[in-house]
Amino acid sequence: MDKRLERILPRVQKPARYTGGEYNAVIKDAAGVDTRIAFCFPDTYEIGMSNLGMRILYGVMNQMPGVWCQRVFAPWGDMEQEMRQASMPLFALESGEPITDFDIVAFSIGYEMAFPAVLNMLDLAGIPFHAKERTGLTPLVIAGGTAMYNPEPLADFVDLVSLGEGEEVTVELIELHRTARREGWSKERFLQAAAQLDGVYVPSLYDVTYHADGTVEAIVPREGAPAKVTKRIIHDMDKSYFPVKTIVPSTEIVQDRVTLELFRGCIRGCRFCQAGYVYRPVRNRSRDLCAQYGIEACADTGYQEMTLSSLSTSDYPQLTELCDELDAYCTEHHVNLSLPSLRADNFSMALMQRLAKGRKSGLTFAPEAGTQRLRDVINKNVTQEDLLQSCATAFAGGYNAVKLYFMLGLPTETDEDVLGIADLAARVMHTWRETASNKARGVRITVSTSWFVPKPHTAFQWEPQISKEEYRRRVKLLQEAIKTKTVTYNWHDADTSFLEAILARGDRRLGKVLETAWRKGAKLDAWEEYFSLDRWLEAFDDCGLDPHFYANRRREKDEVMPWSMISSGVTEAYLWREHEKAFAAQTTPDCRTRCNGCGANHLVGGTCDV
């Protein structure tokens, strides 16, 4: 351990964030390694270590002979201050070595609010911000993750972007980079070759021009780069890597348990949900393999909780049978099963009884909207009767806590829709009175609302975010309408959602705003302790750009979007059809009921696992 680190650790919160040495962390003999990868998560250790995608790619890369992938997380403010005072650069946990000496610096970015942390980590490492300043092949700075479906705010800072699922394309990129280093390629030659890999976007190979009104005029590829870059996916989930021997953290993390991924994609078509579109098509992992992985992971790590995870876990076709298959092991070894993503229209007594074997910590449902009209607009395909029946099932089975998630500011939302949330919460409370098997403990109903953020590659990508003043008015309207004492109301901070909307739909001109905001102190802006909207508004003023242009403006159908060179596999024509159906309050059935022709099927040869 670095002597500077030994002196620093007693003075910071949660020093175990920075020590490494955890069970199942990969340590390799440096003499047998020719490629070192700093796998960076632009948030704290406890957030990054809860990310299943990061654990998967960590395992995939470390399976490669001669490759050593090491983890790097953003330090908390106290640690950063100590590191800067000690002139100690950002380091990897496995070896403790500075990441500026690594061959590839790879960021996993799932949330736009992490953008300033990317810049802060590069600065802490002593790596030049701008891709054009890094003239050599190393360190190569790449980025992937859901937030990269619009990578343009980071276009000036990253050398290339990996789109979609990374298990295969990451290996291809590493091998190409090895070849380039071995044969002495220039960086320009390497980037041109990388752009030919499916799922790889190289920002520097695209010229962007703008109209006088600030909208994008054209995005023109150069030097053989493709006009459209389509995401990569894993075709066969039974052949995809699963981290059975996963790292067991030495300190508490957010998701401190085995996370068992059942399938990828989603059969639903919620029109606001970016993940639901960009993870298409549906690909299931077989029941027996899920059970095997779950049991092996618990046995190896000693965890006593297993989460069955996917975008909509209760849509897994063999969920009940899988729970039955896991039951004997879980009962014998006192392992609790949990399902974080439940739908109100398919929560059954059979499923509840399996969950009830663990601790009854409460259930979570996401109706998203307070009236049926608005649920039809967003294509939620859940009725009030579905929700109340699911709550009745849970209350009858002994549950006494329900969390309900909604959004405010959805397209076409009216005050009647807002008040409908309060009415629905009251109906849930009455359902408890009528059906609860145990009323002695009372009931806890939590209503949480977030502010709708229009995201790229969704049916609502053309829609504006409502103003902050209007959002706060609707929060107050709902707050005053909730009269029941057993209902607790929580709402999401407005300022962060406003900036999220800006960054989510921004173009590459936001790069100078991002850098300016960082120089003013932006870093861990996903945390309210560090976030300041005023800082960002000052940065916009300094750069001569209007934040409302990005967040609060309706886009035209034929407008060139900043992310138009990127395809999630779902066609623009399909998204626009869904947009039009939303304003007619017409629903689209789920993929299992009928294929709706979204276009994503071509990624797997025309068939998916619905």
DSSP letter for 22, please.
-
Beta-carbon count within 10 A of 70 CB: 26
Question: What pLDDT does 271 receive?
Answer: 97
Rounded Cα gap, residues 446 and 444, in angstroms? 6
- CB 559, CB 216: distance < 8 Å: yes
- Look-up: residue for tokens 């967003």? 378
Q: Does domain 3-230 have CATH number 3.40.50.280?
A: yes
Which tokens sit at 548?
């409302």
The CATH number assigned to the domain with range 236-335+573-610 reads 3.30.750
Question: What pLDDT does 363 receive?
Answer: 82
Rounded Cα gap, residues 95 and 420, in angstroms? 55
Contacts (Cβ under 8 Å, ≥6 apart) of 300: 24, 244, 245, 246
SS3 labels along 286-329: CHHHHHHHHHHHHHHHCCCEEEEECCCHHHCCCHHHHHHHHHHH
Query: Can you give the residue ranges of every domain in the chain?
Result: 3-230, 236-335+573-610
Contacts (Cβ under 8 Å, ≥6 apart) of 308: 260, 262, 290, 294, 316, 319, 322, 323, 337, 338, 339
CA distances from 353 to 340, 394, 540, 583 (A): 16, 9, 53, 40
With H, G, I as helix, E, B as strand and everything else as coil, classify residue 57.
helix
Question: What pLDDT does 432 receive?
Answer: 94
- CB 325, CB 285: distance < 8 Å: no
Sign of CA dihedral 111, 149, 491, 257: negative
- CB 202, CB 173: distance < 8 Å: no
Which tokens sit at 158?
């990253």
Question: What pLDDT does 605 receive?
Answer: 75
Question: What pLDDT does 352 receive?
Answer: 67
This prediction's pTM? 0.95
Rounded Cα gap, residues 473 and 494, in angstroms? 11
Question: What pLDDT does 355 receive?
Answer: 62
- CB 191, CB 205: distance < 8 Å: yes
- CB 90, CB 121: distance < 8 Å: yes
Give which of 329, 354, 348 is closest to 258, Cα–Cα. Answer: 329
The bridge status of strand 283-284 relative to strand 263-264 is antiparallel
Which tokens sit at 583?
């304003």
Question: What pLDDT does 354 receive?
Answer: 66
Beta-carbon count within 10 A of 589 CB: 14
Give which of 166, 161, 269, 378 is closest to 599, Cα–Cα. Answer: 269
Rounded Cα gap, residues 14 and 23, in angstroms? 18
Q: How many residues does the chain have?
A: 610
Question: What pLDDT does 438 receive?
Answer: 81
DSSP letter for 346, please.
S
Give the pLDDT confidence of 40-90 residue by residue, as tens digits: 999 999 999 999 999 999 999 999 999 999 999 999 999 999 999 999 999
Q: Mean pLDDT of residues grouped by 10 in the chain (610 residues)?
A: 88 95 96 97 97 97 98 97 96 96 97 97 97 97 98 98 97 98 98 98 98 98 96 96 95 93 94 96 96 97 93 90 92 88 69 61 87 98 92 88 95 98 96 89 93 98 97 97 93 94 98 98 96 98 98 96 97 97 96 91 76
Question: What pLDDT does 349 receive?
Answer: 64
Q: For 385-451, give the DSSP string.
A: HHHHHHHHHHHHTT--EEEEEEEES-TT--HHHHHHHHHHHHHHHHHHHHH-S--TT--EEEEEEEE
CB burial of residue 346 (10 Å; 0-12, 13-18, 19+): middle
Rounded Cα gap, residues 260 and 264, in angstroms? 12
Contacts (Cβ under 8 Å, ≥6 apart) of 263: 237, 282, 283, 284, 285, 310, 316, 609
- CB 389, CB 363: distance < 8 Å: no
Question: What pLDDT does 343 receive?
Answer: 75
